[in-house]
Amino acid sequence: MRSNKVVVITGGTMGIGRATAVAFARAGWDVAVLARGETRLRSTARELEEVGARVLAIGCDVADDAAVEAAAERIERELGPIEAWINNAMATLLSPALSVEPRDWRRITEVTYLGQVFGTLAALKRMRARDRGVVVQVSSALALRAAPLQAAYCGAKAAVGGFTDSLRAELIHDGSGVQLVTVYLPAVNTPQFRRARNYTGAGQNAPDPVFDPRTCAEAILRGVERPEREIWVGRSTWAMQAIQAVAPGLGDRKAAQMWDAQLDPTVPPASPGNLYDVDEEDPGIDGPFGDRTRPPGAEYVTSRTRDAASMLMGVAALAGAGALLAPLAVAAGLSALRRR
């Protein structure tokens, strides 16, 4: 039975965004998809309509604030009040920082950071008046622990965190019922790995472990249906957050070792890639790493679990029994990495 609830998903025609659109449609939501590429928009709309959703597919570059605002206005006019907005659209390239041209830095920042800002503001303009709604920022483990060859993307995703935390404090101050959720993702098997602009001379590789986009979609849907401050998908994301908090210097050295792990010399680099222009192919949800992708299933930790584990460890230390209770606290946190 359909609920007539409306969700907006940016970058919703490929990879994680498309998997998320399908997940919401199957859960009874009506879906608005904002993305570039008419072929993908039409294909995605057909797929969602087959599930039974009302669909609105809008060609939109999220770096254009006026286009995002116009899309939000049209969605509410044609589908109804927006209950959830998923900021998923992103842009990146693979290159040493010194080889990235200024216009590329600007473009990645405009799409990956400002695109989330513009989407959030368009959603809040409507949600605050109704005192309800959820905005999900789709982020990355690379916002927590940056890696080489992706400085522009890592910087943009880190900026999203600062923006979201500041805005959340403002909403709390105002007593607003609108909620902000950030979902941090690991390496995911999406078509983007063969489409991102690349100046390295080798193809882009996804270092293990690689996760299924549908796992990410499940976490995003969960973030809307049961909002919590943050969700970390995959054990690798949890580990990257932990090492950055406890031993950032060690994290630097480990990250430096990821240079070669991100390169595949057997595959040509994407050139020019989709940073500015989008191809009209319809690659769907999955990328090229299916042979080593973990099967779909819930595998994530929420901030509620993280906070509970931290509290247990604090109590253990204060009681002078850290050696006995701290492992139990860690086990409690790890048990939340559910797998079905």
The mean pLDDT of 320-330, rounded to a whole number, is 51
User: Cα–Cα distance between 214 and 188 in angstroms, integer?
Assistant: 10
If asked whether residues 231 and 87 sit together in one domain, one would say: yes
Predicted confidence band of residue 202 (pLDDT cuts 50, 70, 90): very high
**What is the 3-class SS of the chain, one letter each residue?**
CCCCCEEEEECCCCHHHHHHHHHHHHCCCEEEEEECCHHHHHHHHHHHHHHCCCEEEEECCCCCHHHHHHHHHHHHHHCCCEEEEEECCCCCEECCHHHCCHHHHHHHHHHHHHHHHHHHHHHHHHHHHHCCCEEEEEEEHHHCCCCCCCHHHHHHHHHHHHHHHHHHHHHHHHCCCCEEEEEEECCECCHHHHCCEECCCCEECCCCCEECHHHHHHHHHHHHHCCCCEEEECHHHHHHHHHHHHCHHHHHHHHHCHHHHCEECCCCCCCCCCCCCCCCCCCCCCCCCHHHECCCCCCEEEHHHHHHHHHHHHHHHHCCCHHHHHHHHHHHHHHCECCC
Predicted confidence band of residue 301 (pLDDT cuts 50, 70, 90): confident
Mean pLDDT is lowest, of 126-130, 156-160, 213-217, 294-298, for 294-298
The mean pLDDT of 170-191, rounded to a whole number, is 98
If asked whether residues 191 and 325 sit together in one domain, one would say: no
Please confirm, yes or no, whether 153 is among the known catalytic residues.
yes
The mean pLDDT of 90-113, rounded to a whole number, is 98
pLDDT at 4: 82
If asked whether residues 246 and 331 sit together in one domain, one would say: no
Of 153, 184, 199, 276, which residue is the catalytic one? 153
The single residue listed with the structure tokens 């622990």 is: 145
pLDDT at 2: 59
User: Cα–Cα distance between 304 and 212 in angstroms, integer?
Assistant: 24
Q: What percent of the chain has pLDDT over 70?
A: 88
Give the CA distances from residue 102 to residues 92, 106, 111, 272, 308, in Å, rounded to whole numbers and listed in that order: 13, 6, 15, 16, 44
Q: Which has the closest alpha carbon to 208: 235, 187, 185, 192?
A: 187
Mean pLDDT is lowest, of 143-147, 159-163, 298-302, for 298-302
Task: Give me the chain's average pLDDT, please.
Answer: 91
Query: For the chain, how many structural domains are there in total?
Result: 2
Indicate left, alpha or beta for 41 from its phi (over 0: left) and psi (-120 to 50: alpha): alpha
8-52 confidence digits (pLDDT tens): 999 999 999 999 999 999 999 999 999 999 999 999 999 999 999
Predicted confidence band of residue 340 (pLDDT cuts 50, 70, 90): very low
pLDDT at 113: 98
Neighbours of 149 (CB within 10 A): 24
If asked whether residues 92 and 225 sit together in one domain, one would say: yes
Whether 294 is in a domain gets the answer yes
User: Cα–Cα distance between 212 and 23 in angstroms, integer?
Assistant: 13
Mean pLDDT is lowest, of 72-81, 90-99, 277-286, for 277-286
pLDDT at 299: 81
Phi/psi for 300 (5° steps) reads: -155, 160
pLDDT at 309: 47
Q: What percent of the chain has pLDDT over 90?
A: 84
Report pTM. Answer: 0.90
If asked whether residues 312 and 279 sit together in one domain, one would say: no
Reply yes or no on whether the pLDDT at 319 is more than 60: no
If asked whether residues 264 and 330 sit together in one domain, one would say: no
If asked whether residues 244 and 336 sit together in one domain, one would say: no
If asked whether residues 241 and 325 sit together in one domain, one would say: no
If asked whether residues 35 and 164 sit together in one domain, one would say: yes
pLDDT at 269: 94
If asked whether residues 40 and 150 sit together in one domain, one would say: yes
pLDDT at 297: 81
Domain that holds residue 277: 6-298
Predicted confidence band of residue 280 (pLDDT cuts 50, 70, 90): confident
CATH number of the CATH domain containing 97: 3.40.50.720
